[in-house]
Amino acid sequence: PLGGNRHGNGRTLLNLLGAMFLCGLWHGAAWHFGAWGVWHGLGLAVHRVFDRTPLAARCRRLPGWGLFSWGLTLSFVGFGWLLFFYPIPRVGALLGHWIPH
C-alpha cells in the first residue's frame, strides 16, 4: 500500500523509515520504541544507499571487510537496544558517561 519500491528511491527510503517507526510503536506506545524503529529505519536506508554505490563494490573486495561490516552492524544494533529498553532521557544520560567532556 505504501508503493514499495515502485515510486523511486526517495519514496522507498521514506517507506523504510515509516514502516520501521510503526514496527517500533507496535512494541509499545512510548517514544523510545518509536526512536528504536526510526534508528533501524535509518540503518536500512543508509545501507540501501551505500550498497548501490561503486564504493560498496570496492569495499566488498577488501580483506577483512566482512569482519568490519559485521562489527559495525553489531555496534549499530547494540545501540538500538539502548533505545529499545530505556526512555530517551536515560539513553542520553548513559551516553554522557561514555562521551568525554
What count of Cα atoms within 13 Å lies in the side-chain half-sphere of residue 55? 4
Catalytic residue among 7, 27, 32, 101: 27
**φ, ψ for residue 51 (rounded to 5)?**
-65, -20
How far lies 82's CA from each of 43, 77, 86, 91, 93, in Å?
A: 15, 9, 6, 6, 11
User: Cell 522507498 sits at which residue?
Assistant: 12
Would you say 4 and 14 are in contact if contact means Cβ atoms under 8 Å apart? no
27 is catalytic: yes
Q: Which residues are catalytic?
A: 27
